[in-house]
Amino acid sequence: MEIKLHNSWKEALNEEFSKKYFLELVDFVKSEYNLKKGRIFPKGEQIFRALDACPLNEVKVVILGQDPYPTRGNAHGLCFSVEENIRPFPKSLLNIFKEIESDLGIKSPENGSLVRWAEQGVLLLNAVLTVEEGLPESHARRGWEQFTDAVIAAVNAHNQHVVYLLWGSKAQEKAAQVDGQNNLILKTVHPSPLSAYRGFFGCKHFSQTNNYLVSKGKNPINW
């Protein structure tokens, strides 16, 4: 499979690619794609799409998901995002759009692709980058978490005044990789229907993000 990854990330993560855990992870993932053809998501060339769509030096905001959507056709390498033709929107994504409308008055978009966010400097990263159809967390604890820790550490080392939107306990574990003095860390519950009413709705993370970016001389995100 052809892996697409922006050169800025290749350089920053170069040491990770030769570590024992990563080589074992690659063997596992390749074998899953070969043995369970069409049932591992996203498509192979989209595994690192978050890192291809948003170069390291352009990262202004990090949104962290858990693992890709396990529903056929939904996952395309950007957390919470779906391809433009997917209807209805996954419920977590729908709740994100509801909070944006409540917070900023921006109506829900016509499609659920968040590529437009990535192109503005929003790193849409899942903690685990692959999944088997119908089995959430099926590729957890195989090494992806260590790799995405390294991704967050690279952002922290190279960029200042980044906003980290950490929704849910698994995402919040990544805060250990971040310098809270020189960045903004915003935490709340996950936007899934199981928890959104316990703090995600009304969190105003999107306006807080833009206010912080502007205060640091950066362009706000057009959500």
Q: Which residues are catalytic, by number?
A: 67
Encoding tokens for residue 167? 């929704």
On whether the CB atoms of residues 29 and 68 are closer than 8 A, the answer is no
> Three-class SS string for 66-123?
CCCCCCCCCCCCCCCCCCCCCCCCCHHHHHHHHHHHHHHCCCCCCCCCCHHHHCCCEE
C-alpha closest to that of 169 among 150, 197, 188, 147: 188
On whether the CB atoms of residues 29 and 41 are closer than 8 A, the answer is no
Q: Considering all CA atoms of the chain, what is the largest pairwise distance in Å, rounded to the nearest integer?
A: 50
